[in-house]
Amino acid sequence: MGSNGFEDLLPVMANKLGGEGLIKELCNGFELLMDKEKGVITLDSLRKNAAVLGLQDLKEDELVGMMNEGDLDRDGALTQMEFCVLMFRLSPELMEESWFWLEEALQHELGDNNNSNCSL
């Protein structure tokens, strides 16, 4: 399976849930994988909790690779933002569609703030 298994799943989720729903699901995934005491995903918490998200078949080098690729500030852990960015980076199709989801989210947000005259 490997880390590329997300390529097929995330676009389907995005199409089904919309941008806001997808972000909510990614946040839920983060919470399932994170170290509850530290509030971040560590390599140890990823090892322990990967099966919850169906990632039990990932090998040690794949888990380490995910952590290294996602750890943008090189502190040895993934914040919620780093995790979400990593999930999008692992899904090239979603990267192409991400502008659509960003625009949808911004329009929703701007719709909630009727005082804004900004147009995308």
How many other CB atoms are found less than 10 A from the CB of residue 111?
9
CA distances in angstroms from 48 to 57, 116, 120, listed in the order given: 12, 45, 43
Q: Which residues are CB-neighbours of 5 under 8 A, at least 6 positions away?
A: 55
pTM: 0.67
Which uninterrupted H or E stretch holds 36? none
pLDDT in tens, 55-98: 788 899 999 999 999 999 999 999 999 998 888 777 766 555 55
DSSP structural state of residue 35:
B
Q: Single out the residue of 36, 44, 32 nearest to residue 83, CA to CA.
A: 32
